Structure 1
Amino acid sequence: MDLRLPLTSIGLGLVLLISGGCSPCDENKQASLEERTRQFEASLDAIQDPKLKDAVSDLGGSLLLLERAQGKLASKPIDTEYGEDSLALLKHYPTPQALVDTYVNGLFVLRKPSSSDYLTDLQPVFPFSFDMPAQFPFPHGLEWQSVTLSNNKVIPFQPEWSETDPGIQLSPSSSNLTSPDDLTVTYPFIEGLEVDNKNQPQPVSLLGKLEVIAPSRVLTFELSKADIGKPRQDGNIRLTLLSLEKNVAEIELNNSSPLPEEANDTSLNPLLTQARDSTGQILSRSGSINESAAQIAFYQQQLAEMQKQKSWSDDFEKQLENEQKAFEQQHTNHYAKVYFNGVVEKLEVAVLDFAQASVTRKDLDLPVHRFDRSTTDKNVQPLPMPVVVYDDQAANYLKGAQLDEETLKKSVTINQSVEDASAMRIEFSHPRTFNDELLGSEFSTGDTPLTFFTQNDKGQRGEPIELPDEAFEIDPLRGIITYDLNLFPETPAYAVGSIPLFLASIKKDSISTRQLPKGLELKGNALIVDQKLFPADAWRFYAKDDNGQYLKEILATSHTASADGPALFDVHYFYGQPSQLESYTRSDLETVEYGFEVKLEKSESAPPAS
């Protein structure tokens, strides 16, 4: 939950909603907030002027939402949860501009498979993920303009698909909630006319404009409780740790140099913050509040002024704007209160200095590539990439190659589903690791004993219940037990037995790309893997460059002899030139018996006990 109240838009950005238990005091505060919310909503009914009503509703609603978020973040239990290094991306490139160049020059477009003859989906592929923690850290904007088809026709971009437009259209994909830059080329549908997509003019290139604002420099600071109240100065940058409690830090940043017009944006975030606990591991963030007490007081003052008005006027709007400018001139500091999932030992802050920021603008004319996950094409299609991007999650993920039995057992969680008495479920699951990738497909589940028990007068496990075979079913590969209470002569209270877990023995080797064994071939940034000698069922390959860093994989394709035939070879494409490979192969597969005693949850729809 990262919240800010930019005056230009008077709104709140919610990134993550927090849920957690509340103390009696918190419940009282929540009740008070709900009552004030009802009073505020009722007061809106008395406002007749539509424009004034909208302004009061937006700002007042935002302030109430901010207060609700503050309460949830403050009352959330401190449960330790680790995350990834969100600052790693900044460490790989010598200058901010080098990072921008990588982002701009590493963008390309894929044509995605479609089951419809009337739709062709286009996916812009960015060298950096837009999901945290690897979010591209600099302000950027992307504007699509048109797509050029194979018949040289240019189709302009339109913000949404139109039912009344009879021609070919280019608009955002219907899945744009998760992939906001994906596009769809829509061909006209003619009732009763069979259309073959292959005969439609195909997208050849995508045109657009890209703009990125790069800070002049990135400064990094390490802070602890000893730094509270002691400003850290570096030229025009002054960073102050205001407070550091168990799981929350307050930071204030002052940049004494004026920002250029391009970077003078209230949504600009010059602070990137992460924390480590006493183990040295990075804690995940639970959210942040980016409004200081002075800012919130100012918004509340403006809301009070709005509520005194009878109608909205140009003069009143100008008054608000002048008050806003005066406030911003007096309060140039950037504030952040950041919450973490765990107790903070050390704080790491990256400051983006946007004084003397540079703006990169580029007109895009991107060819549309097609790389299907599975293809019968025997030729290796090149995908040259002029940039290097590292996989910062690989090292931690590959630790799963050394997973042991005890760690695997400790990671298991047990969940129950009790909505349907005829299909009660017990599910055993564990976080997916690299070990799971190399389990293969041939499993020996062994015995899966299971006995249900009643509960005795002392509330403990009682007698075993004799059951017909059809009363329960065990799916050992999925780790799911399903049972039908209607077939139980007595109400079960406990389930005791074992479920199989699977653990691969994985062998790791290093291979120089200068001396590749038979079955491996490198063509530029593409690694070709013979599936007869190195089947994907048992092998994985990770690439490193001359710097010893793991390269990020762009995509992979599997080449087969026929549509339903076995794979002949796989091709893996990387951002950068591999100079060394790490191979991981399954040498053995062990079945681990996970013994359990589960206290059964009761179903409201359960039949009465006999």
Structure 2
Amino acid sequence: MAASISAGQKPINRNQIHYLRVCQSVFLLVSESLEQLNDIGQEAWRMDLRLPLAGTGLCIAVLLSSGCSPSEEKQQVSLEQKTAQFEQSLDAIQDPKLKDAIADLGGSLLLLERAQLRLKNKPIETEYGDDALALLKHYPSPQALVDTYLNGLFVLRKTSNSDYLTDLQPVFPFSFNMPAQFPFPHGLEWQSVTLSNGKVITFQPEWSETDPGIQLSPSSSNLTNPDDLTVTYPFIEGVEVENKDQPQPVTLQGKAEVIAPHQVLTFELGKADIGKQRSDKNVSVKLLSLDKNSAEIELTNSAPLSPELSETPLNPLLVQARDTTGQILSRSGSINENSQQIAFYAKQLAEMQKQKAWSQAFEQQLEEERKTFEREQHSHYTKVYFNGLIDKLEVNVLDFSGATVTRKDLNLPVRRFDPLTTDSKIQPLPMPVVVYDDQAPNYLKGANLDEETLKKSVVVHQSTEDASAARIEFDHPKTFNDELLGTSFSTSDSPVTFFTQNENGKRGEPIELPSEAVEVDPLRSSITYDLTLFPETPAYAVGAIPLFLASIEKKALPVSQLPKGLELRGNALVVDQRLFPAEAWRFYAKDSSGQYLKEILAVSHEAPAKGSASFDVHYFYGQPSELETYQRSELNTVEYGFEVKLDKLENPPPAE
């Protein structure tokens, strides 16, 4: 195996980088989407990334954070009993190191059991996702993707309302809200910031209240982006200190590391491949099972891994599934530990629980056992669950035999591009890399949205928590069409009538109501009603609510034939707002390959004085050769007729 390492550079401390945020426990879970962290119990989990659990408190909270369906009830009771017993056993442990080690491993095993239960019993509801390898398909080799990531990174100075804080936002050429969007192990360490007076401020992992000087530390204002930083200036009580008098950040220093696989191999599998081994070069995959919405796969790589990567928890499998429509199903979760691995760590947990105290000798014994066990593992296992019925599987193998480790020292200029400015000067933002927008083609289908499709997409939600403000909401998935609706809405009356329920459980008589009992908000597609003003209990609501649909005209323009009001300056498109107002126009750029370029950022240059021109500037990763323009030609109102069976009041008022 050949590992290529840049000369003269030391490896990043891998405990601090994205792909190695690891604690002692083996079974660490992260949700498929950051949004799911707010409702862990309602969503499935997976084990692709290894992020630290915050001790047993989080383990227990996660395990008990949701209800269960009837089919899960018996298993759920057993799991809760196990959890309670485990928590009680922790209370009896006196040695803090031993207690922490047992909490980590035992809590993770319980969390794994919870994940297995949730994934197994999750209803099969079709949901489509993106191609996890679309990013790689744009570049001739894995290393070219790595180079694009490293060379496309820059730093923005963010606007701030404070004179004592300056936020810095590293801008990556690829999105990181889903791990598959950059499929290779990668890490970033910030080291220092150089100020305009030449002073270098060293990075510190957290802000110190007692440090009297200027500090560089992680930002506390944006928890969803762990790479954001804040330069904090000392606060002097009673003295106004403005940013213009402070030395400003000029460059940000750090180092990055990316591990690129030697090659990426793809296998297409179906039911006929169950139990069979498929091979390509040094890589073999076996489909162990294929159910309606899940698949078990085993990977074997006959080529050895570099000793340098032996402690790196690489995930070499990216598994995707398509249904009979040919579309890619989104994943609901995955588990990457087979029964033998689970049994081994359960055995280690049992050994821990027999101890009275933690010792260095016992820790070394566990570590030697772990290393011996892992040396005996010659395959990689995963069980993946999908949101929908599987027709075909696509198994992508990242072959890390012959991997290339690229390390780069970063010295990035801090740029300022405020979203809104009165400066008439257009700043250049040259970009040495090309990045494509893979979401654009699907998103722009919304330009052709028709009335029938819009109506069919409506989902009715009800809220009956407050008797005086019960609500009915008519929601629909937001599309590109919504982006061009503008603000000039014309709404007519939106009639709604409430009915009782008759003896047959059907719609009964209409209810006469005072006008203040019902409020219709057509712009938000919602109805609020005050049940305390109803003479009878309503069972049905019948009426119509307006939806809005833009008529959108699309044109393709070569950059050599742009009309007045559109100008291309390098990778920047300048749009005159007098001729192409943002409320009614959108612009997408393609390069010579015919693919959509990803937009880096946009700046609105507002007119400093009345009567002078204002314009927008859109910056792209790459050189546009063609523009697609989308113009709203008119705004249409669509009447959505409804009959809604009303939910019963959740908290009925006490009887008088």
TM-score normalised according to structure 2 size? 0.89
In structure 2, give the amino acid aligned to 1:397: Y
Cα distance change of structure 1 residues 129 and 564 upon mapping to structure 2, 3 Å threshold: farther
Cα distance change of structure 1 residues 446 and 566 upon mapping to structure 2, 3 Å threshold: farther
Aligned residue number for residue 376 of structure 1:
422
Where 1:395 maps in the other structure, the secondary structure is helix
Cα distance change of structure 1 residues 564 and 555 upon mapping to structure 2, 3 Å threshold: farther
| Candidates 384, 404, 411, aligned match of 2:457 | 411
Where 1:555 maps in the other structure, the secondary structure is strand
2: CA distance between counterparts of 1:8 and 1:43?
A: 19
Aligned residue number for residue 112 of structure 1:
158
Matched, 1:177 2:177: no
Q: CA deviation at 1:74?
A: 0.3
Matched, 1:487 2:533: yes
Where 1:283 maps in the other structure, the secondary structure is coil
Q: CA deviation at 1:413?
A: 0.9
Q: CA deviation at 1:435?
A: 0.5
Matched, 1:19 2:42: yes
| Candidates 392, 404, 409, aligned match of 1:346 | 392
Q: Contact 1:7/1:324 (CA < 8 Å) preserved in 2?
A: no
Q: Contact 1:93/1:99 (CA < 8 Å) preserved in 2?
A: yes
Written as runs of structure 1 = structure 2, the 5 A alignment for 1:180-195 is 180-195=226-241
1: CA distance between counterparts of 2:227 and 2:22?
A: 24
Q: CA deviation at 1:4?
A: 12
Moved more, 100-109 or 331-340: 331-340
Aligned residues: percent identity? 75
Structure 1: state its 5+ residue gaps.
none
Written as runs of structure 1 = structure 2, the 5 A alignment for 1:587-606 is 587-606=633-652
Matched, 1:358 2:424: no
Cα distance change of structure 1 residues 553 and 321 upon mapping to structure 2, 3 Å threshold: same
| Candidates 402, 409, 423, aligned match of 2:448 | 402
In structure 1, give the amino acid aligned to 2:583: D
Cα distance change of structure 1 residues 607 and 291 upon mapping to structure 2, 3 Å threshold: closer
In structure 1, give the amino acid aligned to 2:214: I
Matched, 1:392 2:415: no
Q: Contact 2:71/2:121 (CA < 8 Å) preserved in 1?
A: no
Matched, 1:49 2:95: yes
Aligned residue number for residue 306 of structure 2:
260
| Candidates 198, 205, 211, aligned match of 2:257 | 211
Matched, 1:532 2:578: yes
Q: Contact 2:20/2:312 (CA < 8 Å) preserved in 1?
A: no
Moved more, 146-155 or 284-293: 146-155
Structural RMSD (CA) = 2.1
Cα distance change of structure 1 residues 362 and 38 upon mapping to structure 2, 3 Å threshold: same
In structure 2, give the amino acid aligned to 1:12: L
| Candidates 478, 501, 506, aligned match of 1:460 | 506
Matched, 1:101 2:152: no
Q: Contact 1:260/1:355 (CA < 8 Å) preserved in 2?
A: yes
Q: Contact 2:433/2:621 (CA < 8 Å) preserved in 1?
A: yes
1:452-487 per-residue CA deviation (whole Å, 9 max, x = no partner) reads 122222222222122222112111111111111222
Q: Contact 1:558/1:567 (CA < 8 Å) preserved in 2?
A: no
2: CA distance between counterparts of 1:563 and 1:202?
A: 29
Moved more, 45-54 or 71-80: 45-54
Written as runs of structure 1 = structure 2, the 5 A alignment for 1:145-544 is 145-544=191-590
Written as runs of structure 1 = structure 2, the 5 A alignment for 1:578-589 is 578-589=624-635
Aligned residue number for residue 61 of structure 2:
none
Where 1:184 maps in the other structure, the secondary structure is strand
Where 2:325 maps in the other structure, the secondary structure is coil
1: CA distance between counterparts of 2:116 and 2:374?
A: 23
Written as runs of structure 1 = structure 2, the 5 A alignment for 1:126-141 is 126-132=172-178, 135-141=181-187
Q: CA deviation at 1:405?
A: 0.6
Aligned residue number for residue 86 of structure 1:
132
Q: CA deviation at 1:7?
A: 8.6
In structure 2, give the amino acid aligned to 1:13: L
In structure 1, give the amino acid aligned to 2:28: L
2: CA distance between counterparts of 1:23 and 1:426?
A: 26
In structure 2, give the amino acid aligned to 1:601: D
1:80-130 per-residue CA deviation (whole Å, 9 max, x = no partner) reads 111111110111111110000000000000011111111111100000000
2: CA distance between counterparts of 1:134 and 1:520?
A: 36
Q: CA deviation at 1:6?
A: 7.7
Q: Contact 1:455/1:463 (CA < 8 Å) preserved in 2?
A: yes
Q: Contact 1:18/1:73 (CA < 8 Å) preserved in 2?
A: no
Q: CA deviation at 1:203?
A: 1.0
2: CA distance between counterparts of 1:23 and 1:601?
A: 20
Moved more, 91-100 or 560-569: 560-569
Q: Contact 2:577/2:614 (CA < 8 Å) preserved in 1?
A: yes
1: CA distance between counterparts of 2:69 and 2:515?
A: 47
Structure 2: state its 5+ residue gaps.
1-18, 33-39, 44-66
- Displaced runs of 4+ in structure 1, greater than 6 A? 3-7, 563-567
Where 1:397 maps in the other structure, the secondary structure is helix
Where 1:466 maps in the other structure, the secondary structure is coil
Q: CA deviation at 1:429?
A: 1.0
Where 2:473 maps in the other structure, the secondary structure is strand
In structure 2, give the amino acid aligned to 1:128: F
Cα distance change of structure 1 residues 419 and 18 upon mapping to structure 2, 3 Å threshold: closer
1: CA distance between counterparts of 2:611 and 2:349?
A: 68
Matched, 1:32 2:48: no
Cα distance change of structure 1 residues 542 and 111 upon mapping to structure 2, 3 Å threshold: same
Q: Contact 1:206/1:364 (CA < 8 Å) preserved in 2?
A: yes
1:128-158 per-residue CA deviation (whole Å, 9 max, x = no partner) reads 0001265211111101111111111111111
1:476-507 per-residue CA deviation (whole Å, 9 max, x = no partner) reads 11111111122222222221111100111111
In structure 2, give the amino acid aligned to 1:411: S
Q: Contact 1:84/1:133 (CA < 8 Å) preserved in 2?
A: no
Moved more, 73-82 or 35-44: 35-44
1: CA distance between counterparts of 2:180 and 2:271?
A: 27
Cα distance change of structure 1 residues 177 and 5 upon mapping to structure 2, 3 Å threshold: closer
In structure 2, give the amino acid aligned to 1:164: T
1:346-380 per-residue CA deviation (whole Å, 9 max, x = no partner) reads 11121111111111111111111111111111111
TM-score normalised according to structure 1 size? 0.96
2: CA distance between counterparts of 1:580 and 1:606?
A: 60
Aligned residue number for residue 559 of structure 1:
605
